[in-house]
């Protein structure tokens, strides 16, 4: 395969658009998600339009055995990835005291544990080949506490901290680690998180998943440490490092409320 890139959560949103960007750049792809029909449709589209090879794998990455089986399968296929893109994740807009624990536990497993586990599985191979990229998709949420999306915001803070740390460890290896931090984006996230009526997603000129994906790919290729999409989001992340945490929580709380 030609500089293959593994992308998790590739059946929709930013992951779907990242697959299209990577294929346009000539990369073969290995895509994993739960919705096999969407993966197969994307495979057919990219192989026809871009002439790349696309392998798909249906799996639920909240399950540790599935993650190990996926890794073992890529090994038996002889895949030595050029990059790993940990994109899979979701949120749930609800007061924490009223939250469905099963859903929040799955969120923790996917947003944090799966991302960390897959990085651990593939990173030694990237280091051994002396080149490679890791792109972990976080969020602007990583910079502040988020009432009514408390667990989601906390998982993205973990992704940012974890990726920044391993990026430092990887200096001089030829491998880089990038955290992509988009703000509100047109995607299926709002519907899955039951957040489509929140003020956060009522802004005008919200960037598309395609725009964020193109930005994220470019940042990954540059080996950029933290990639925050959009000037306003960059300013907000800068301000978030200086305001008291309780003020940030109040601001986020207002943004999570219905329009």
> Taking the domains of the chain in order of start, what are their residue ranges?
5-256
Q: Which of 186, 190, 87, 176 is closest to 137 using CA atoms?
A: 87
The per-residue pLDDT for 241 is 72
Does the 5-256 domain belong in CATH 3.40.50.720? yes
Phi, psi (degrees; rounded to nearest 5) at 198: -70, 145
**Interaxial angle between packed helices 115-129 and 64-76, expressed in degrees from 0 to 180 and rounded to the nearest 10:** 20
Determine whether 158 is an active site residue. Answer: no
Task: Report the percent of the chain where pLDDT is more than 70.
Answer: 88
pLDDT value at residue 190: 47
User: In the prediction, which pLDDT does 255 show?
Assistant: 72
Instruction: Residue count of the chain, please give it.
Output: 259
Q: What is the pLDDT of residue 239?
A: 72
The pLDDT of residue 238 = 76
Write the CB contacts of 231 (distance below 8 Å, at least 6 apart in sequence).
none
Tokens found for residue 181 = 């931090």
Cβ-contact 23, 46 below 8 angstroms: yes
Catalytic residue among 148, 152, 153, 215: 152
pTM recorded for the entire structure = 0.89
Q: Is the dihedral of CA 164, 58, 106, 259 positive or negative?
A: positive
pLDDT of residue 67: 98
Q: Are 75 and 124 in contact (CB under 8 A)?
A: no
Which residues of the chain, if any, have pLDDT below 50? 190, 193, 195, 259
Kindly give, in sequence order, each residue whose CB lies less than 8 Å from that of residue 35, ignoring residues fewer than 6 positions away.
11, 12, 58
Q: Which two tokens stand for residue 17?
A: 């658009």
Write out the E strands in 146-236: 175-181, 226-228
């Amino acid at each position: 395969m030609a500089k293959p890139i593994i992308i998790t959560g590739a059946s929709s949103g930013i992951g779907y658009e990242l697959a299209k960007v990577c294929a346009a750049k000539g990369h073969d792809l290995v895509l994993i998600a739960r919705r096999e029909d969407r993966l197969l449709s994307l495979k057919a589209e990219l192989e026809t339009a871009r002439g790349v090879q696309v392998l798909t794998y249906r799996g639920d990455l909240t399950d540790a055995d599935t993650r190990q089986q996926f890794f073992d399968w890529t090994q038996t296929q002889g895949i030595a990835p050029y990059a790993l893109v940990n994109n899979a994740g979701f949120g749930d807009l609800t007061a924490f005291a009223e939250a469905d624990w099963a859903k929040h536990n799955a969120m923790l497993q996917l947003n944090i544990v799966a991302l960390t586990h897959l990085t651990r599985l593939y990173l030694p191979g990237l280091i051994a080949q002396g080149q490679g990229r890791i792109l972990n998709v976080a969020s602007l949420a990583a910079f502040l506490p988020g009432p009514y999306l408390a667990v989601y915001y906390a998982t993205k803070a973990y992704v940012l901290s974890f990726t920044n740390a391993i990026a430092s460890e990887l200096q001089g290896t030829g491998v880089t680690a990038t955290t992509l931090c988009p703000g509100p984006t047109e995607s299926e996230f709002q519907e899955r998180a039951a957040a489509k009526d929140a003020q956060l997603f009522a802004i005008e000129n919200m960037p598309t998943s395609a725009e964020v994906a193109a930005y994220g790919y470019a940042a990954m290729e540059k080996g950029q440490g933290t990639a925050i999409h959009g000037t306003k989001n960059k300013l907000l992340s800068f301000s978030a490092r200086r305001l008291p945490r309780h003020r940030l929580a109040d601001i986020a709380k207002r943004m999570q409320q219905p329009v």
